[in-house]
A and B are shown apart, each in its own frame.
Chain A
Amino acid sequence: MFLKKGALFSCAFLFVLALLALSGWIPAEAADKKVYIGMCIHSTDNEYWNQEAEGGKEFAKTLPEGVAEVQVLTCDGDDEKQLNGIKAFIASHPGECILYVDPSNAPNTAVIAEVCEDAGVYWTSVWHLAKGLNPMNYKYYVAHQSVDGVKQGYDIAIDLFRNFKTPNKGKILALQGQLGNDSAVERYEGFQKALKENPDVELLDMQVADWNPQKALNITETWLAKFNEVDGIWCANDGMALGAIQALKAKGLNGKVKVCGVDGVSGALEAIEAGDMVCTVANNGYLQGGYGAAYTYAAHTGKIDPSKMPAEKRLFYTEGYFVNKDNLAAYRKDFVENRPVYDFDNLDFAIARPMALDGK
């Protein structure tokens, strides 16, 4: 009985301690006006997501030393995990944190917007936006940016068709990303638009490989048993493209069957160099993460006032980086061997074109 009570008391004590610590009641080293930048990304197991986080760190480096500390919060695509992570982050740095959020899913942005508004935390989002949500209606929701997925899917498809034996004429297969995922839907939409414009290109089959190279490999292997003549495989990301290329290699078809992808991962660059892949679009996470953090920091420090900014500066598309054989060397020089250097004082640099919320 005593034991149980003791355990209960110590639990309660620990709980209270934790609460106090979280609410900042126990003063740690809160003397200087430090800003904590929370970079909320999906996970660290992908180059692009790492680029986002690194972009935030690059921005922090441009500030005087010790002023900003970057913390990376991962969610593994889980809405609840992302939300809890954000709440805990805000609670542990009250009044001195800002957020860059790559949302787990579009609907989550609506909840995050409310949480940040209540806590008075400036934040920006990237990629996904809940239906009906508009940063313009919020004080602390500084900006939303996205890479135009439709354009990416379209651009790689057009370049793929152009590289066929008979340009713009042939039979192709498509590997789509995870069902229901915004990027997958957008890129596929762009692909379909390109198909419509090129009636001589016939789509033999589409399968979903969930962004997974292993799955892409298996599907491509099976396809090759069914279809004898294939000119190209359109892939919604590079991982799947690399999986498909492995299946093609086993049959000596690499380079003959053209492949394209999106993301610009290092493996894809190597494949473009080797002639196994036609093109990819790099999302440029450095730019997105860096400017995303820069926008919130500027709002946090009062340099900009979101409520006075026009919509085209709070809702915009950023430029992706289209890479094929022609500009591979230039891309490598700027993005792989070096980190792209940006002038974070010029916030407009990130804006490629404004985004209309009713669609494209």
Chain B
Amino acid sequence: MREESICKAPQAKTIAEEFVDRINAERRREHLVRTAPLIVLIALALLGSVFVEGFFGLANLRNLLNQSSIPLVLVTGLAFVILVGSIDLSIEGVMGFSGSIVTLMVANSKNAMDLGFWAIPITIAAGTLFGALSGLLHVKLRIPSFIVTFGMGSVATGLGVLSYRGMPATVTDPLFASIAQGSFLHIPYLNWIALLVFGAGCFLQNSTAFGRAVYAIGDNEAVARSNGIRVDRVKIEAFAWCACCAAIAGVLGAIRLNRGEVIIGKDNLFTTITALVVGGVSLAGGSGGMFRALVGVVIVTVIQNCMILIGVDPYKQEAIKGVIIILAVALSVSRGRRVVVK
């Protein structure tokens, strides 16, 4: 009765109306935050074109495409793991491992093995196994994902180094050179491959039960479980997909360098996570998607590219990158202030 009388008070809004208002305000804010990365990217591109010598032009556009291919592939994989609310720190290791072993299986300066094209699918399969194993250990033994994947990354790095025993192989197979230097519609093959992987990621996210399950788990694992989603299996698949992408990235890296060593994977984790966060994929899981990941990758690549073109003192570059990631996280925190906090 009392509630009713409050609701009927002439000036005050009803609780329901207030709730709707707040949700609408929240939606508007969220919409703004959601489009913020895209606005940042457009602003960066405009500023770069006007003020940075050498930024605007076909040659540099091609550079941006080249330099964003590997991060894009990595982000396509890691996004799914982050969407389920976990993290995969093994991508550098898996990437280094794949980049190392693929060069040993094609014609190279180190051994007599020459599997040609088949080296690539074998390598990707081997890399994927690392992810599947990480997922399995994470889910079945209930070990936090960052620890499992951290360890798995070390294992992969170690095996990678063992594979070439410290003396990296130089690839002599013409296949690598033809992929590295060939292009279709003036865009290098490597970029097409990266875009293909990204396209596969978009398909997985939007058009498959796996994609929907990933969001459901990231949003609320308990609800997902009670709705009959096989949470464990989906998680393992997410880790396997992430490692699969890391393996592809490793192969692309080896093709680009024409040489295989575990260092190929180094420094990619930071860039990948930065790209996801800057693009607006929430580290808490359940929020974000392929498009935001793409925007994040391009933003990070453009910033790195501009800093080199401007000739920013290398001593300051690291600091600037750090500031960017903190700003991005600060932005994504405001996204968490919802009416309904989970």
Q: Please determine whether A45 and B314 come into contact, CB atoms closer than 8 angstroms.
A: no
Q: Please determine whether B257 and A266 come into contact, CB atoms closer than 8 angstroms.
A: no
Q: Please determine whether B167 and A210 come into contact, CB atoms closer than 8 angstroms.
A: no
A224 and B309 CA atoms in complex are apart in Å by: 10
Q: Please determine whether B60 and A225 come into contact, CB atoms closer than 8 angstroms.
A: yes
Q: Which residues of A contact B180 (CB under 8 A)?
A: 246, 250
Which residue of chain B has its CB nearest to the CB of A336? B167
Q: Which residues of A contact B66 (CB under 8 A)?
A: 218, 221
Q: Is B88 an interface residue (CB 8 A)?
A: no
Q: Please determine whether B308 and A45 come into contact, CB atoms closer than 8 angstroms.
A: no
Q: Give the shortest distance, in Å, between A233 (CB) and chain B (any CB).
A: 14
Q: Give the shortest distance, in Å, between B59 (CB) and chain A (any CB).
A: 4
Q: Is A43 an interface residue (CB 8 A)?
A: yes
A280 and B109 CA atoms in complex are apart in Å by: 20
A242's partner among B70, B257, B314 (CB-CB below 8 A) is B257
Chain A 218-231: CB-based contact to B (< 8 A → 1; otherwise 0)? 11011111110000
Q: Please determine whether B314 and A222 come into contact, CB atoms closer than 8 angstroms.
A: no
Contacts A214-B266, A226-B53: A206 and B314 contacting too (C-beta < 8 A)?
Answer: yes
Contacts A43-B161, A50-B167, A267-B168: A214 and B258 contacting too (C-beta < 8 A)?
Answer: no
Contacts A207-B314, A218-B304, A250-B180: A45 and B63 contacting too (C-beta < 8 A)?
Answer: no
Contacts A50-B165, A213-B257, A222-B308: A45 and B170 contacting too (C-beta < 8 A)?
Answer: no
Q: Give the shortest distance, in Å, between A243 (CB) and chain B (any CB).
A: 6
Q: Which residues of B contact A243 (CB under 8 A)?
A: 257
Q: Please determine whether A222 and B63 come into contact, CB atoms closer than 8 angstroms.
A: yes
Q: Which residues of A contact B63 (CB under 8 A)?
A: 221-222, 225
Q: Is A239 an interface residue (CB 8 A)?
A: yes
B54's partner among A49, A179, A226 (CB-CB below 8 A) is A226
Interface residues of A in 30-60 (CB under 8 A from B): 43-47, 49-50
B267's partner among A46, A176, A210, A249 (CB-CB below 8 A) is A210
Tell me the count of chain A residues lying within 8 A, CB to CB, of chain B. 39
Interface centre among A49, A221, A224, A243 (most CB of B within 10 A): A221
Tell me the count of chain B residues lying within 8 A, CB to CB, of chain A. 40
A336 and B25 CA atoms in complex are apart in Å by: 70
Contacts A43-B161, A44-B166, A45-B161: A179 and B314 contacting too (C-beta < 8 A)?
Answer: yes
Q: Which residues of B contact A50 (CB under 8 A)?
A: 165-167
Q: Is B111 an interface residue (CB 8 A)?
A: no
Q: Which residues of B contact A222 (CB under 8 A)?
A: 60, 63, 67, 305, 308-309
Q: Give the shortest distance, in Å, between B20 (CB) and chain A (any CB).
A: 49
Q: Which residues of B contact A22 (CB under 8 A)?
A: none
Q: Is A217 an interface residue (CB 8 A)?
A: yes
Q: Is A325 an interface residue (CB 8 A)?
A: no
Q: Give the shortest distance, in Å, between A254 (CB) and chain B (any CB).
A: 11
Helix, strand, loop or mixed for chain A's interface?
Answer: helix
Contacts A45-B261, A213-B263: A179 and B305 contacting too (C-beta < 8 A)?
Answer: no
Q: Is B253 an interface residue (CB 8 A)?
A: yes
Interface residues of B in 48-103 (CB under 8 A from A): 53-54, 57, 59-60, 63, 66-67, 70
Q: Is B262 an interface residue (CB 8 A)?
A: yes
Interface residues of B in 293-307 (CB under 8 A from A): 304-305
Q: Is A110 an interface residue (CB 8 A)?
A: no
Q: Is B315 an interface residue (CB 8 A)?
A: yes
Q: Is A256 an interface residue (CB 8 A)?
A: no
Q: Please determine whether A239 and B59 come into contact, CB atoms closer than 8 angstroms.
A: no
Q: Is B264 an interface residue (CB 8 A)?
A: yes
Q: Please determine whether A217 and B314 come into contact, CB atoms closer than 8 angstroms.
A: no
Q: Which residues of A contact B54 (CB under 8 A)?
A: 225-227
Q: Is B235 an interface residue (CB 8 A)?
A: no
Q: Which residues of B contact A139 (CB under 8 A)?
A: none
Q: Is A265 an interface residue (CB 8 A)?
A: yes
**What is the interface of chain A, defined by CB distance below 8 A to chain B?**
43-47, 49-50, 176, 179, 205-208, 210-215, 217-219, 221-227, 239, 242-243, 246, 249-250, 265-267, 270
Q: Can you identify 25 A-B contacts, CB atoms within 8 angstroms?
A: A44-B161, A45-B166, A46-B166, A50-B165, A176-B314, A206-B314, A207-B314, A208-B314, A212-B266, A213-B261, A213-B264, A214-B267, A217-B257, A222-B67, A224-B59, A226-B60, A239-B263, A242-B259, A243-B257, A246-B258, A250-B180, A266-B109, A266-B167, A266-B168, A267-B170
Q: 8 tightest CB-CB pairs across the interface, nearest first?
A: A226-B54, A50-B166, A208-B314, A225-B60, A45-B161, A225-B59, A222-B308, A221-B63
Given contacts A50-B167, A206-B314, A225-B309, 6 further A-B contacts (CB under 8 A): A45-B160, A176-B314, A208-B317, A221-B66, A243-B257, A246-B256
